[in-house]
């Protein structure tokens, strides 16, 4: 089966190049760097131990940053190559990457491009985050005998069913990894059923994330602009959820005439589409924009269409609903820990299958509130807006839950430590240049 995939992809160069150019022309790819997806590389490999961490998109990238910072604290002379696939994740990573770290776009899974990529970077250790499986790249890694780990691994029921249809290929790909560290027992069972040999449960690294950053001056200015108004936040929204927020706003405004609804879309490039849909409800809609406009007294819907400001609005809000839990695409959910860490009362909808165990555990510990429909969400927000003491208790419970779970990444590092130490055998560094912080 892999031979068929190999020959199809090897002969698809023309189509893959055209696809990249089309995506570039539609502003879905970085026009200056899209060639990295063809393994056209301008960055030089550092003459030092190199760990390659692959994180497909924003969520995985943030998990990768947690792990990078934990490793760097003990092994500051190690360099990191971080790859992601999306333009938005690259923008965030480029801004947040620490020293001794370079970002590249992950190449398309063409056998020549993947081989070029591996031979150029020649990593000493490979850490893949969560759920990305690409046959050609994994075949090259295996052929080069580079130690590789699948970290924070997860698998949805749908993905399991799809990979199970290709079980011989899947088993062969998974054999590339020395060990697979899963988020949950259910994830571990899926990987074992697919043929993975060394699988364990480490928990979710997202629990160990530092709270999302925010600008204190912007926080002060936004609080002053709100001037004591009641408001709620719908965070990381997808298609369908912005219109839901507008309908809920119309309901709640009857009880709270000065209410403000803040929407932070997951993909800010949808700003015009979101603005038009919200204005159709005859509401006063304001885009924050790069000039960071602040809501007026008459603003009903405030759309935060900027990158990297979710932390600001979680810190600002007492009540936050997690996006992609009601969306038109079937949902999947986004990370509720980020809201809990910044002391929000966390609400979410019925479709959080990508992070089901996290949401379930939070709900079981009264750290999140599941609402199964639009009207139930409206009722929940209304109840919390009316009862400040209940909100405070809810916020404290969510925060304490996130704090109790914060040690996951250290456990992952303990598992990886022998491999990291082994890098120095392969690529020695003098003790004078090797400083381990304690």
**Can you tell me the distance from the alpha carbon of 274 to that of 289, in angstroms, rounded to the nearest whole number?**
13
Q: Six-digit token pair at 219?
A: 């926080």
**Extended strands (E) in 223-323:** 231-237, 260-265, 285-287, 301-303, 319-322
Q: Six-digit token pair at 348?
A: 């979410």
In whole angstroms, how far apart are CA 154 and each of 204, 333, 427?
9, 14, 32
**Comparing C-alpha atoms, which of 89, 104, 111 is closest to residue 7?**
111
Q: Running DSSP on this structure, what letter comes out for residue 240?
A: T
Active site residue 60: yes
Q: Tokens 């490999």 correspond to what residue? A: 45
Helix (H) or strand (E) holding 158: helix 157-164
**Can you tell me the distance from the alpha carbon of 294 to that of 221, in angstroms, rounded to the nearest whole number?**
8
Q: Six-digit token pair at 261?
A: 């609804």
The strand pairing partners of 1, in sequence order, are none
CA 221 to chain centre: 28
**Comparing C-alpha atoms, which of 282, 288, 286, 374 is closest to residue 328?**
374
137 and 167 Cβ atoms separated by less than 8 Å: no
- Tell me which of 60, 130, 242, 419 is the catalytic residue: 60
SS3 state at 39: coil
Q: Six-digit token pair at 407?
A: 């040690």
* CB environment 345-380: b (16+ within 10 A), e (fewer): bbbbbebbebbbbbbebbbeeebbbbbeebeebbeb
Backbone Cα Rg of the chain: 23
**Can you tell me the distance from the alpha carbon of 187 to that of 179, in angstroms, rounded to the nearest whole number?**
14
260-265 vs 301-303, strand pairing mode: parallel
**Comparing C-alpha atoms, which of 238, 278, 239 is closest to residue 260?**
278
Active site residues: 60
């Amino acid at each position: 089966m892999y031979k068929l995939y190999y020959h199809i992809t090897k002969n698809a160069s023309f189509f893959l190049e055209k696809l990249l150019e089309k995506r570039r022309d539609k502003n879905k790819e970085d026009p200056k760097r899209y060639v990295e997806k063809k393994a056209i590389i301008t960055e030089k490999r550092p003459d030092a131990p190199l760990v390659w961490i692959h994180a497909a998109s924003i969520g995985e990238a943030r998990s990768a940053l947690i792990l990078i910072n934990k490793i760097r604290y003990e092994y500051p002379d190690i360099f990191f190559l971080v790859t992601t696939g999306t333009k938005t994740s690259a923008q965030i990573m480029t801004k947040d990457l620490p020293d001794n770290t370079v970002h590249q776009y992950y190449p398309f899974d063409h056998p020549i491009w993947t081989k070029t990529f591996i031979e150029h970077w020649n990593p000493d250790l490979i850490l893949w985050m969560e759920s990305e499986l690409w046959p050609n790249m994994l075949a090259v890694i295996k052929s080069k005998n580079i130690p590789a780990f699948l970290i924070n691994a997860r698998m949805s029921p749908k993905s399991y069913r799809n990979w199970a249809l290709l079980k011989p290929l899947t088993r062969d790909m998974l054999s590339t990894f020395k060990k697979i560290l899963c988020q949950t027992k259910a994830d571990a069972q899926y990987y074992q059923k697919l043929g993975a040999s060394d699988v364990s449960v480490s928990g979710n690294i997202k629990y160990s994330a530092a709270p999302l950053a925010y600008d204190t001056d912007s926080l002060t200015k936004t609080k002053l602009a709100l001037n004591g108004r009641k408001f709620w936040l719908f965070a990381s929204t997808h298609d369908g959820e912005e219109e839901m927020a507008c309908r809920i706003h119309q309901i709640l405004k009857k009880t709270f005439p000065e209410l403000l609804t803040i929407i932070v879309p997951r993909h800010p490039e949808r700003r015009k589409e979101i603005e038009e849909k919200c204005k159709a409800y005859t509401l006063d809609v304001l885009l924050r924009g790069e000039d960071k406009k602040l809501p007026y007294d008459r603003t009903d819907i405030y759309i935060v269409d900027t990158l990297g400001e979710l932390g600001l609005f979680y810190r600002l809000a007492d009540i936050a609903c997690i996006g992609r839990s009601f969306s038109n695409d079937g949902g999947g959910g986004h990370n509720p820990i980020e809201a809990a860490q910044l002391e929000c009362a966390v609400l979410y909808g019925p479709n959080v299958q990508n992070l089901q165990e996290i949401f379930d555990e939070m709900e079981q510990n009264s750290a999140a509130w599941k609402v199964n429909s639009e009207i139930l969400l409206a009722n929940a927000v209304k109840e919390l807006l009316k009862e400040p003491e209940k909100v405070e208790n809810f916020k404290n419970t969510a925060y304490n839950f996130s704090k109790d779970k914060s040690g996951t990444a250290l456990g992952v590092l303990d598992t990886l430590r022998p491999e990291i130490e082994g890098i120095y055998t392969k690529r020695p560094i003098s003790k004078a240049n090797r400083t381990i912080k304690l």
